[in-house]
Amino acid sequence: MKRIKHSKEFKLQVIKEAQDTGKNTLVARRYDLNPNMVSRWVREYKDGKFGEVDVAVLPDIDSKELSKENEKLKMLLGEKDLEIAILRDLIKKKNPPLAEKHEVANKWIQKGYSISKVLKIIGIPRSTYYYQKNYRVEEKKVSEGRPAPGYSIQEDGQKISDEQIKEFLLEEIAGDCYNYGYRKLTKVLRRKYKLKINKKKVYRICKELGILRPQRQKKVSYPRKLARNRIITRSNQLWEADIKYGFIEGEDRFFFVMSIIDVYDRGIITYHMGLSCTGDDVKQTLKRALLKRQQYDELEKPVIRTDNGPQFISHTFEKFCEDSKIEHERIPPRTPNMNAHIESFHRIFEDDCLSRWQFETYTEAYQEVMNFMEFYNERRMHSSILDLSPKEFYQKQDSLVIKEVRV
pLDDT tens track for 222-236: 566 777 788 899 999
- Mark whether 156 and 126 lie in a shared domain: no
Q: ∠46-48-50 over CA atoms, to 5°?
A: 105
- Mark whether 192 and 108 lie in a shared domain: no
* CA nearest to 276, candidates 243, 298, 305, 306: 243
Q: Is 326 helix (H, G, I), strand (E, B) or coil?
A: coil
pLDDT at 56: 53
Residue 356 burial (10 A CB sphere; 0-12, 13-18, 19+): exposed
Mean pLDDT of 54-69: 48
User: Where does a domain end: 106, 135, 164?
Assistant: 135
Global pTM reads 0.56
- Look at residue 372 and tell me whether its pLDDT is greater than 60: yes
- Mark whether 161 and 100 lie in a shared domain: no
Whether 190 maps to a domain, the answer reads yes
Mean pLDDT of 87-100: 67
What separation in angstroms does the CA of 392 have from each of 61, 171, 178, 263, 385? 49, 78, 69, 15, 10
Q: How far is CA 82 from the centre of its chain?
A: 35
Q: Which residues of 39-52 are buried (b: 16+ CB within 10 A; e: fewer)?
A: eebbeebeeeebee
Residue 101 to residue 105: CA distance in whole angstroms: 6
Whether 186 maps to a domain, the answer reads yes
pLDDT at 61: 35
- Mark whether 340 and 296 lie in a shared domain: yes
pLDDT at 57: 46
pLDDT tens track for 130-167: 877 776 545 555 555 677 788 899 989 888 888 999 99
Total number of domains constituting the chain = 3
Mean pLDDT of 286-290: 94
Mean pLDDT of 343-349: 94
- Mark whether 195 and 229 lie in a shared domain: no
Whether 4 maps to a domain, the answer reads no
- Mark whether 322 and 372 lie in a shared domain: yes
- Mark whether 302 and 389 lie in a shared domain: yes
Mean pLDDT of 50-57: 65
Residue 339 and residue 240 in contact, taking contact as beta carbons nearer than 8 Å: yes
- Mark whether 250 and 104 lie in a shared domain: no
pLDDT at 343: 94
Structural domain that includes position 289: 225-406
Whether 400 maps to a domain, the answer reads yes
Split at pLDDT 50, 70, 90, the class of 30 is: confident
- Mark whether 333 and 395 lie in a shared domain: yes
pLDDT tens track for 289-339: 999 999 998 989 999 999 999 999 999 999 999 999 999 999 988 888 899
- Mark whether 387 and 283 lie in a shared domain: yes
One-letter amino acid of 261: I
- Mark whether 119 and 236 lie in a shared domain: no
Whether 114 maps to a domain, the answer reads yes
